Amino acid sequence: MKRPAVPEAVLNRGTGAPPVHFQQRRMGGAPMPRVWNAVLLLPLLGLCTAGCASHPPTPRPVDHPETAAIEFWARQPAVASVDADDFTPLWRACRRATVASSFTIDRADFRGGVMTTLPLVSKQFFELWRHDVVTPYDLAQSSLDTMRRTVRFDIRRRDDGRYEAAPKVVTERFSLAERRITSVARFAETFSTERVEGDRNRDRAGADLPDQYWSATGRDYALERHLVEAVRNDLRG
């Protein structure tokens, strides 16, 4: 009498090996080696890694307290500039490009060739009518954290007689001092902007730290290039 066939999954039960239908996948009747699964996943992992590092933040050149000041980054050289034959058309084009990017003019030194804006809290993802952030990375950063930007245009006359305008955009991050609440009745003071009595935050030198402050994080080179392109298109038109 012929014995019935025993399923392969039952045969592997005592050996500790998984059933056959879990060990291999058949494509066109032939088993597919597991090594091909890893080969197919490598390009996907590469794309994910490249996407996460496509736009890293501006690194600080040195770890020094002065890098947190807006003046430090304003002294760094510009990365993009635009030139013109006459000063007045270039000045007006810079002003229009700045206002079109949702900034408000603060200082307009026509004789000195310096134009600065008021600090503007950067847009979030739902503020589609604003144009002060130009890259997806910066938009995500300003949506997750409170950031602001300040624009400065410097216009000077070159040796060949033409005028050159160079923008500089400094980014800052808002910081709020943490609160140590030891009583449940005072939990509402956690997000208060006023100093909590008995809560004195100090730095390494022993000085009192402010409750809230802005610290510079770097330059927005993408917005600087965007402003230069806007000024160049304005002069052409």
Instruction: Kindly list the domain boundaries of the chain, sorted by start residue.
Output: 65-178+212-236
Distance CA 81, CA 79 (A): 7
For residue 66, the model assigns a pLDDT of 73
Count of C-beta atoms within a 10 Å radius of residue 194 = 7
Q: Are 73 and 220 within 8 A, CB to CB?
A: no
For residue 134, the model assigns a pLDDT of 93
Tokens of 83: 């030139």
Q: Are 73 and 217 within 8 A, CB to CB?
A: no
Q: Are 117 and 106 within 8 A, CB to CB?
A: yes
Q: Mark the ranges of the chain whose per-residue pLDDT is less than 70.
A: 1-65, 178-209
For residue 194, the model assigns a pLDDT of 58
For residue 46, the model assigns a pLDDT of 53
Tokens of 151: 């624009």
Which phi and psi angles does 27 have, rounded to 5°?
Answer: -125, 115
pTM score: 0.65
For residue 190, the model assigns a pLDDT of 62
Return the CATH fold of 65-178+212-236.
Alpha-D-Glucose-1,6-Bisphosphate; Chain A, domain 4 (3.30.530)
